[in-house]
A and B are shown apart, each in its own frame.
Chain A
Amino acid sequence: MAGRKQALALLVALLVLPAPVWKAPAQDFKSLSLGTFHSPKGLGICLESQQEQGSFDSFDIIADIFGIIRADYSTPGIKATYYRGIVLKHREHEGFFSDFFAGPGVTAGYVRDIHQPFSTVAGLSGVIGERFYFDKKRIVVCMEAGMDLALELNRNNRYHNINLTLYKSGLLHTFYPQIRILYIIK
């Protein structure tokens, strides 16, 4: 069942990216990392687990800061995401190595959107990026971009109805940079 899931995830990544070159990392691959998530989209904490060679699981809890940077709002939303990262290309450099990865996931939360009040959001997500591992430190730096293809549900108090619309920020903010700084616990 797990194998089927991984095959499906890899298939999605293969469709998204042109001709990836697979090369397995030459390190002890099992690890658990805890870190922070930084982006104009939000700030949060993340936990990553790598149990299989060439893939990892990432769980994030993010304070969504939509509109806060521009001082339009003062209270953040909250969002949880999970994605499975699949390493598509492994590169060795002097003093560090990097993994180019992509992966599908899911997202859910209670956030603001463009011209929308706080809404319940749920849907699919996709992440693509590069992770850097350093020989001297148990630190992983990850630079990535992420997209949320989700629906938002909110209550319109004026007309007393419920709206179901597309979560626009999830698509429009795809190219906002995301940086994760992780510490490898074990």
Chain B
Amino acid sequence: MTRRILIIALALLAGQGPLRAGTPARGEGSARLSFGIEWGYDGTFLEVHHYNYMDATDGFRIDEKKANAMLYTNGHATAHLTLEFARRWALGLNAGYAGIQQRTRFFPIALRTTYYLDSYRTDGQFVFLEGGAGFHETRKSISPFARSGYGYRLVLSEGKSLDLAGSLRVAFDHPPIYDSSIPGYVPQDNIRRSDALYSALCFSIALNF
């Protein structure tokens, strides 16, 4: 009889549509480990570089410092393992695949710390800071990068959530230098300096389990 009443009560509750958000979640405050996937759009909007190399044709040293505004579409897809603790904090390890500039893609591995303004167990805003290194796909080079952003967490059910986030990413690189007078890439022996910084706005979606 009690079971029947319970089933009817649950059915009535289900009929009312979405349940109220912000109700105290079970296990509030206790640490937990979560796994998730994240993917998104990255719009590289600024490239700042400093190149210094010997011109192959006349032997002069060329020193070039330039900032280029652009909009180049990239994307990223990562998986993460995150420890959520002390009600509002999370520390996670992310790894995946990302593009930072035209024909420049790497496999990033990064540590991310997240602060939830309310709690990671309830709907609400969060801010995060991430730092790591990317292993380039086509050359033996490692690019350090950092990312910081703001997002909103939608808790779908206990332990399952959907995160929407916007962030700014800066990535450093030592790219090969293209010289249109050769035409082609400047030989590595002729390069004294090749530093580049790419800034991108990232919009991402993450599913956490």
Tell whether A pairs with B.
yes
Contact A136 B156 (CB under 8 A): yes
Chain B residues, CB < 8 A from A135 = 14, 19, 157
Question: Does any Cβ of A come within 8 Å of B99's Cβ?
Answer: yes
Chain A nearest CB, measured from B202 CB (Å): 15
Question: Does any Cβ of A come within 8 Å of B15's Cβ?
Answer: yes
Contact A138 B17 (CB under 8 A): yes
B63-98 with Cβ < 8 A to chain A: 73, 75, 77
Complex alpha-carbon distance, A70 and B103, angstroms: 7
**The residue from A69, A95, A136, A141 contacting B21, defined by CB atoms under 8 A apart:** A136
Chain B residues, CB < 8 A from A161 = none
Complex alpha-carbon distance, A95 and B103, angstroms: 43
Contact-size category for B: 20 to 34
Question: Does any Cβ of A come within 8 Å of B205's Cβ?
Answer: yes
Contact A95 B157 (CB under 8 A): yes
Contact A136 B102 (CB under 8 A): no
**The residue from A68, A71, A139 contacting B162, defined by CB atoms under 8 A apart:** A139
Contact A71 B154 (CB under 8 A): no
Chain B nearest CB, measured from A111 CB (Å): 18
Question: Does any Cβ of A come within 8 Å of B158's Cβ?
Answer: yes
Chain A residues, CB < 8 A from B205 = 38, 181
Query: Helix, strand, loop or mixed for chain A's interface?
Result: loop
Contact B103 A27 (CB under 8 A): no
Contact-size category for A: 20 to 34
Contact B39 A137 (CB under 8 A): no
Contact B162 A69 (CB under 8 A): no
Complex alpha-carbon distance, A71 and B75, angstroms: 11
Complex alpha-carbon distance, A167 and B5, angstroms: 56
Complex alpha-carbon distance, A134 and B162, angstroms: 12
With A136-B19, A181-B162 as known contacts, state yes or no: A141 contacts B157, CB within 8 Å.
no
Report B1-24 CB contacts with A as 1/0, cut-off 8 Å.
000000000000011011101000
Q: How many A-B residue pairs have CB under 8 A?
A: 52
Contact B162 A27 (CB under 8 A): no
Chain A nearest CB, measured from B99 CB (Å): 7
Complex alpha-carbon distance, A181 and B160, angstroms: 14
Chain B residues, CB < 8 A from A94 = 157-158
Question: Does any Cβ of B come within 8 Å of A22's Cβ?
Answer: no
With A71-B103, A136-B19, A139-B162 as known contacts, state yes or no: A96 contacts B156, CB within 8 Å.
yes
With A38-B205, A71-B99, A71-B103 as known contacts, state yes or no: A134 contacts B17, CB within 8 Å.
no
Chain A residues, CB < 8 A from B158 = 94-95
Which residue on chain A has the smallest CB distance to residue B15? A28
Contact A68 B73 (CB under 8 A): yes
Chain A nearest CB, measured from B45 CB (Å): 16
Question: Does any Cβ of A come within 8 Å of B170's Cβ?
Answer: no
Contact B162 A136 (CB under 8 A): no
Contact A136 B207 (CB under 8 A): no
Complex alpha-carbon distance, A72 and B111, angstroms: 31
Contact A136 B155 (CB under 8 A): yes
Contact A137 B154 (CB under 8 A): yes
Q: Which residue of B75, B99, B157 has the most chain A CB atoms within 10 A of its CB atom?
A: B157
**The residue from B18, B75, B155 contacting A69, defined by CB atoms under 8 A apart:** B75
Complex alpha-carbon distance, A179 and B156, angstroms: 16
Contact A136 B14 (CB under 8 A): no
Contact A27 B17 (CB under 8 A): no
Chain A residues, CB < 8 A from B105 = 70-71
